Amino acid sequence: MSTPFPQAPAPAPAAPARSNGLAVAGFVVGLVSLVLCLVPILNNAVFLTAIVGLVLAIVGLVKARRGAPRRGLAIAGIVLSVLAGIGVLASQAFYSAVLDDVSESLDDTPTSDGAVATEDDPADGSGDVAEPAAEDTEEAAAEEPELEPAPEEGTRDNPFRFSDTVGNEEWTVDLGKPAEAWDDIRAENQFNDPPADGMEYWIVPVEATYTGTDTGTPWIDLTVEFVGDDNATYSDSCGVIPDDLTDVDELYEGGTGTGNVCVTVPAGAEGAWTLTAGWFADPVFFRAKD
C-alpha cells in the first residue's frame, strides 16, 4: 500500500497594505498654504491652514514610524507648513509697514519754511494791533467784495519760488535755479549725445538735508521733473552730467548732500518744475520764471 505525499500547507494570506492618507493630506495642505501665504488678506486664513497641515503631517510621520508608508511626504508636509506659517507672519509685517509708510506720506507734502505774521505776533514786532471800530468794519465789509482764498502754496496755481526752502518729515530741500546746460554736459563727457531736435538739457542744482530718523539717499528719494504748458510731464535724463546727485551716498539724520539733476525739456517751453520728496508724497511746484 503506497503512502500518499503530504500536502503543502496553504500560503498565509498577505497582510493588507497599510495606507497613510494623513501624510498625503498634510503635504497637500502645506503646499497650498505655502503658495497662498503671500497673498494679502487671504493669508490671514492661510495661517490656520498651515497649522492644520502641520498637525496632519506630524500624525502622518508618527504613523510612518510605525510602519505606514509615505514617510517622505509627511516630512515634506511638516517643512512646507512651517515655511507657510513663517511666510504669513513675514508678509503681514511687510504689508503693515507699507501701509504705515503710505499713511505717513499722506502728511508729507512739503511746505515752505516762511513764517506768517498774526495779529497777536506781527512780523515787524510792533506789538498789539489796534482793532478797528465796529462801524468801520461793517462799512468795509459792505463796500469790499468777498475774496476767494488763494490756492495752497506749492500747487500748480500757486507755485513756490526757487529761493524758497521746502521740506517734510524726512527732507529739507533747496532747489537752485534751473539753467540750460548742453555745453557743460558736452564738456563733462565727449560721448554724451546732444538733445533731440526741439529739446534742451536743463540742470537743476539740489541741496538736500535728511531730517528723518533712519537714513535716506537723495537721488532715490527726491525726484525733479518739468511740467510743460502742454500739460505733459518731462523726466528724461541727459547722460553724464557734472556733479551728479547720484554721486551722493546714503545720508543719516542731519546729513546734507549737494548735486545736480538734469531733465530733457522742450526748447523754450513755458511751464513749472516739480519736486517729489518721498515715494508716496505728492509733488510740489516751482515757477519756472521768477
Among 68, 101, 134, the domain boundary falls at 101
Give the domain CATH number at 239.
2.60.40.1240
Q: Is residue 138 domain-resident?
A: no
Write the CB contacts of 31 (distance below 8 Å, at least 6 apart in sequence). 77, 80
Q: Are residues 95 and 177 in the same domain?
A: no
Among 50, 81, 101, the domain boundary falls at 101
The phi and psi torsions of 7 (rounded to 5 degrees) equal -80, 140
Q: Are residues 76 and 178 in the same domain?
A: no
pLDDT in tens, 235-266: 998 989 999 999 999 999 999 999 999 999 99
What is the model's pLDDT at position 12?
Answer: 52
Q: Is residue 2 domain-resident?
A: no
Q: Is residue 185 domain-resident?
A: yes
Predicted TM-score (pTM) of the model is 0.52
Q: Are residues 95 and 189 in the same domain?
A: no
Q: Is residue 169 domain-resident?
A: yes
pLDDT band at 23 (very low <50, low <70, confident <90, very high): confident
Residue 154 has pLDDT above 90, yes or no: no
Rounded-to-integer distance, Cα 154 and Cα 158, Å: 6
Per the model's pLDDT, the better-predicted residue between 55 and 21 turns out to be: 55
Range of the domain at 186: 165-287
Helix spans in 110-237 (H): 134-143, 182-188, 218-221
Q: Are residues 74 and 183 in the same domain?
A: no
pLDDT in tens, 201-233: 999 999 999 999 999 999 999 999 999 989 999
What is the model's pLDDT at position 116?
Answer: 42
Among 60, 82, 101, the domain boundary falls at 101
Q: Is residue 147 domain-resident?
A: no
List C-alpha distances in Å: 94 to 6, 47, 80. Answer: 79, 16, 21
As for how many domains the chain has, the answer is: 2
Burial of 212 (0-12, 13-18, 19+ CB in 10 A): middle
Residue of 273, 176, 279 lying closest to 220 (CA atoms): 279
Rounded-to-integer distance, Cα 123 and Cα 116, Å: 7
Q: Is residue 277 domain-resident?
A: yes
Q: Is residue 49 domain-resident?
A: yes
